[in-house]
Amino acid sequence: MRVALLGCGVVGSQVARLIVEQSDDLAARIGAQLELAGIAVRRPTRHPDVPADLLTTDAEALVSRDDVDLVVEVIGGIEPARTLLLAALNSGKSVVTANKALLAEDGATLHDAAAKAGVDLYYEASVAGAIPLLRPLRESLAGDRITRVMGIVNGTTNYVLSRMDATGAGFDEALAEATSLGYAEADPTADIDAYDAAAKAAILAGLAFHTRVTMSDVHREGIGDITAADIASAKAIDCTVKLLAICERVQGADGECVSVRTHPAMIPRAHPLAGVGDAFNAVFVEADAAGSLMFYGRGAGGAPTASAVLGDLVAVARNRVNGGRGAGESAYADLPIQEMGEVSTRYHVSLDVNDEPGVLAGAAQAFAEQGVSIQTVRQEGRGDAASLVLVTHAATDAALSATVRKLTALPFVRRAAGVLRVEGMAGE
């Protein structure tokens, strides 16, 4: 069973190492020897540890070679990854990939090619690194009805938010610390602006709800605007702020549909996700029969991600040895995506107000006009420090953001802070 490896960076080098080091174990588990046929890289001189005869700069030629059975892709990005994987699938090779961006952007093309060729397309490593999550969703829960997937799937932003929460630091300071420790890349846009989390949310929603979900279906908000004051506001209601990826099966106006979104949210400190610190990932899954499940572990890093790649590699190799094929794409349900405005959420808002009579009545009126019900309200401070802290019941996101716009325009409101959605609170 010969493997072509595309990419030999942080993850790829670990994949190559494990294939060699665990050679005997892998052979015993697969029923055939697993061998590296070649490794496609951009600059061969940068990989002095790899036997030179394995290295090539011609990825296209490598994936087309007749002596290659399986292709592992850890380059990332849309192109040339898509062209290479399509070539591999079309020539009857099974594919293992960690490429969340490509799967979220154009997974359908890859799935169709895999189905047509009767080969496997596995991608456990694309979401939450080493944590077995996609296989449980796709297989273990295949006889259940999943209603919700909610989790922390980006380590960089979780590190930044955890530091802000622990030290009171501002966003820039916490990000600088994450960068210096290697938790954030030189250009952290994909993490901070939640492109990474959004791609993962699309993949999770697709598996959970048997529906094709792409990047453009995902409502995306990053953490760049989160301030130390937001974190303090969260603390005042015994919450912390996390960047969440949320996939829900919901009842819309025209029947069942899917909400897929990623945004920062306050969650109660007692919620199990609140305790997930550092660069760890954790995902909650709720299903009708199974109840609540949680999966926790390292969501990134070379070795953890390589572990997920190797697990897939053993599976597709075993399928090939047995002459079979694993579960393919399941998108039969084809549920519509709910508009963000129609999504039911809760809001927290902290208003700096003039210390005068009628303030609470005026604010309450603004909520009532939009049909939004207030769960708790707290008046704090006097004089220049007067503020009104409100948490709403669940209402449509459109009504809630309209309410916040109204509130900030009221004459007695000086400033709105801590305007954040609230998730995971009891009584929703």
Binding site for a copy of itself (CB under 8 A): 14, 18, 22, 25-26, 28-29, 124, 130-132, 135-136, 139-145, 210, 272, 287-298, 301, 303-304, 306-315, 318-319, 322-325, 327, 330, 332-333
CA distances from 195 to 33, 154, 192, 416 (A): 38, 10, 8, 27
Q: What is the DSSP letter of 138?
A: I
In the complex with a copy of itself, the residue whose CB is nearer, 227 or 292, is: 292
Tokens of 2: 């010969």
Is there a catalytic annotation at residue 235?
Answer: no
**Is the torsion defined by CA of 238, 244, 248, 253 positive or negative?**
positive
Q: How far apart are CA 140 and CA 142, in angstroms?
A: 6
Nearer to a copy of itself, 25 or 172 (CB): 25
DSSP calls for 324-337:
--------TT-PPB
Two tokens, residue 110? 């890859």
Contact 11, 78 (CB under 8 A): no
Q: Are 175 and 160 in contact (CB under 8 A)?
A: yes
- Cβ neighbours for 380, distance < 8 A, ≥ 6 positions apart: 386, 387, 388, 389
**Cα within 13 Å of Cα(69), Cβ side:** 16
* Catalytic pick among 93, 100, 200, 242: 200
What amino acid positions are annotated as catalytic residues?
200
